[in-house]
Amino acid sequence: MNTAKTRQKTIQRIAEQEYLQGELLSDIRHEYIDGEVYAMVGAHRHHNIIGGNVYTLLSNHLAGKPCQPYISDMKVRVGSKYFYPDVMVDCSDEEHDYYTENPTIIVEVLSKSTRQHDKTLKRDAYFQIESLKEYVLIEQDFVEVELWFRDNAQHWQQQVYYLGDNITFHSIGLTVSVEAIYQRVKNVDMLEWLEKKAQQAQPQAGDTI
């Protein structure tokens, strides 16, 4: 998984069809925003681990079901914009080979360089997708999972989760722990959490072995 999280803007504006054709030949992924192209280059180890963890959790749960999880390579189209979500679930019957317009879940892993972009421009674009039920923002440098979901009135609501919490994706009936999302990630929060768990697991003075 080589999804890039540092964005570099090209100078030349290009047509939408030219962008789509170019992506088939390019070794570097690009996002397309209203005629402008952004190269996606460089990703932190933690970003890749988190994305892989989420994809595995979704894929295992959705095995044998109609919803399809994707990681990194499948684009989502929103009007005249094309993005590469880090992880996505598509429950539609679309026939586009390289992008979807009707995702059910979108997951983005955040870094210092992408946090504002993912929490503003991308979020505003994604919220226009009628099929989208849940938008998940996962910090890579510390432990925090921000879940946006549509309520019964189709209004977007937000919940934030930390270590020790469980997250339920109601759109697909899956509950996972925050710890499972960050498995094998060695940021400060996870190292402290694992150290605390190890200490709690050790026999205390006076305990019978």
Q: How are strands ordered across the β-sheet holding 87-90?
A: 68-71, 87-90, 103-110, 134-139, 145-150, 156-161
pLDDT of residue 201: 86
Contact by Cβ (8 Å): 112, 140: no
Domains along the sequence of the chain with CATH: 44-199 (3.90.1570.10)
Q: Which residues contact 17 (CB under 8 A, 6 or more apart)?
A: none
pLDDT of residue 9: 59
Overall average pLDDT of the 49-57 stretch? 98
DSSP 173-186: TEEEEHHHHTTT--
Element (H, E) at 81: strand 81-83
Q: Bridge-partner residues for 69, per DSSP? A: 89
**What would the pLDDT profile of 18-52 be if each residue is shown by its tens digit?**
999 999 999 899 999 999 999 987 789 999 999 99
pLDDT of residue 189: 98
